[in-house]
Structure 1
Amino acid sequence: MAIAAATMALARPTWTALLTTTHRANWVFTPFAVSYSSSSSSSSKPSRALILYSKPGCCLCDGLKEKLQAAFLLSGPDSIHDVDLQIRDITSNPEWERAYQYEIPVLARVLSDGTEETLPRLSPRLGVEMVHKKIAAALKH
């Protein structure tokens, strides 16, 4: 029984495990948000940014975080490895909690003027490749 549990734990990487195996990951912890920059160096070109509104203990949020992390590692012509992701805990801000308490996880893209545009909800059934494709398409607009 213990061997089966250990095998299952190894078969499905956790969010933390994915982060520790990614050399490009750069996490910044703040009281209100966690920022993830998949690019280790800053450049003069405008960055592409996403915000994920979530809260601790939300299994849908954790699932989307795992898929986003994996999607950032995919390569190809529509790569999103340079996207900055900020994860905001809605329980740390009453305004975010009022706005998103029944909607999380909510993914928004940051526009060039600093405003946010909420993206269409991603189904928890989507695979990593489809999440990658939808994020890349949303960032092209």
Structure 2
Amino acid sequence: MTARDISTNEEWQDAMHLSVPVLAVLDEQGSEVVLPRPQPRMTADRLQRHLQEALAASGGQQAQG
């Protein structure tokens, strides 16, 4: 997965500023677990922490930073 800070690119910001992604991981049994939605306008660093916390809580694989 690649994280992009859309505030650094006007084209990305225009295209995605109102979008909220739906994120899911597979747990240890192979079942899909939907992660909690991140808050709009969350910074890239805070989003990374949010994802790491959600992955840990879901039993999914940890992302490498």
TM-score by length of 1: 0.28
Q: Counterpart in 2 of 1:107?
A: 23
How much does 1:13 deviate?
7.6
Instruction: Give per-residue Cα distances to partners, 1:33-68, cap 9 Å, x unaligned.
Output: xxxxxxxxxxxxxxxxxxxxxxxxx7215xxxxxxx
Alignment of 1:44-55 (within 5 A): none
How much does 1:12 deviate?
1.9
Structure 1 residue 121 corresponds to structure 2 residue 34: no
Counterpart CA distance in 1 for 2:44 and 2:33 is: 22
Alpha carbons of structure 1 residues 129 and 113: separation in structure 2 relative to 1, 3 Å: same
User: Gaps (5+ residues) in structure 1?
Assistant: 1-10, 16-57, 62-104
Structure 1 residue 12 corresponds to structure 2 residue 9: yes
Secondary structure, counterpart of 1:109 in structure 2: strand
Alpha carbons of structure 1 residues 110 and 13: separation in structure 2 relative to 1, 3 Å: farther
Secondary structure, counterpart of 1:106 in structure 2: coil
User: Gaps (5+ residues) in structure 2?
Assistant: 1-7, 58-65
Secondary structure, counterpart of 1:117 in structure 2: strand
- Percent pairwise identity: 30
> Across the two proteins, how many residue pairs are aligned to each other?
46
Structural RMSD (CA): 2.4
How much does 1:140 deviate?
1.6
